[in-house]
Amino acid sequence: MTERLRLKKNADRRLKAGHLWLYSNEIDIAATPLKDFEPGAQAVIEAANGKPMGIAYVNPHSLICARIVSRDVDVRLDRSLLVHRFKQALSLRARLFAKPFYRLVHGEGDLLPGLIVDRFDDVLVVQLNTVGMDRMRDEIIAALEKVLAPRAIVFKNDSSGRRREQLGDEVEVAYGELPDQVLLEENGVRFVVPVLDGQKTGWFFDHRANRSWLNGLVAGKRVLDVFSYVGGWGVQAAAHGASEVLCVDSSAQALERVAENAALNGLAEQVAVGEGEAFEALAALKAEGEQFDVIVLDPPAFIKRRKDIPNGERAYSRLNREAIRLLGRDGMLLSASCSMHLAPERLMECVRGAVRHQDRHGQVIYQGHQGADHPVHPAIPETAYLKALGVRIFRN
């Protein structure tokens, strides 16, 4: 018999609107004490009048104390539901992409809260970001095996979300045998993906469409890729005709991968690397009198929590100011943010202020967001996190 979790009066409004999260202050703890639940246990969610509303897994120690996995109270999160959801997710990606390189499961966007799966052909990289999903690890492996028969499944469980759920970090090959090199192809360019020791799952599929847009504007240009990681933007720019590319990152290991990926595509001559913190590197390039035609700013999230917004916005503004100083008379800036808490209009404002600070003019010619393999849940604004602005910046 599945346990029950009852909501306070009127606390079912978001659920009725399609949301999948329940907060601890929405629970009628007199009727159904949260403390009685084992982390990860599944429960029938009831409205205040006792009407069943769905099945969720529960974590009494988290602010988001329950996450809906099905509206059908006769269904449970088990291998059968996982197989069904994986097939639903796969059918979308098969329509979107000709080659098997994409995010296969995007958490709430694919009705599987707490689960991320990135696909690199026959290698799958999985993140279990909640206690509820962590408890399902064996079923997840079995369901992925049934749907895709992969060569290897890697658990890349080192996200900040896990720490909020009081889960430890672990990175391991959970199934099969990992090949010596994991490769992917994006926008016609090949990359080696560091799935075990890279950032997140090893790659950021979410910017694919934004990179594709920029690739059409870089021929013959001098390009600066700041926060380059393994060269997603920079190496693609070189492959699409940029005359020179400089990739800047604070990680020496990431820059080694940039060089490896440039060589993989026969672009070693066009792509240079520079190690350093972004703000210091931008200042040094300015002091050296360097100038670029195109600059890409794709920083990590400066705003992790709502309380970080003021400081984070200042950091975005400063970053864009420093970059614009390095643009020639008629340059292109690609300014991105993956901070969920930074509203699109606030990124626009950061860029606008930076343009005026340098006494230049800006024309926003592109507004991008996350790719279609990162579907946005229409009831959950938090699933729409990525922003990218393409801005032509010129002097009077």
Query: What's the alpha-carbon Rg for the chain, to the nearest Å?
Result: 23
Beta strands 244-249 and 271-275, pairing class: parallel
Whether 130 and 146 have beta carbons less than 8 Å apart is answered as no
* In the chain, beta strands by DSSP E: 3-6, 21-23, 42-46, 52-58, 64-70, 101-106, 115-120, 123-128, 152-157, 170-176, 183-186, 189-192, 222-226, 244-249, 271-275, 292-297, 327-337, 361-369, 387-394
Cα–Cα distance between 79 and 37 in angstroms, integer?
22
Query: Hey, is 193 helix, strand or coil?
Result: coil
Q: What is the DSSP letter of 302?
A: S
247 is catalytic: no
Write b or e for each residue in 266-297: b if 16 or more Cβ atoms lie within 10 A of its Cβ, otherwise e.
ebeebbbbeebebeebbeebeeeeeebbbbbb
Residue 230's closest CA among 278, 184, 191, 277? 191
CA atoms within 13 A on the CB side of 383: 25
Strand partners, 370: none
Got the DSSP string for 328-345?
EEEEEEEEEE--TTS-HH
Whether 334 and 364 have beta carbons less than 8 Å apart is answered as no
Residue 135's closest CA among 159, 149, 114? 114
Cα–Cα distance between 292 and 393 in angstroms, integer?
12
Q: What is the DSSP letter of 304?
A: S
Active-site entry in 65, 247, 338, 350: 338
| Catalytically annotated residues | 338
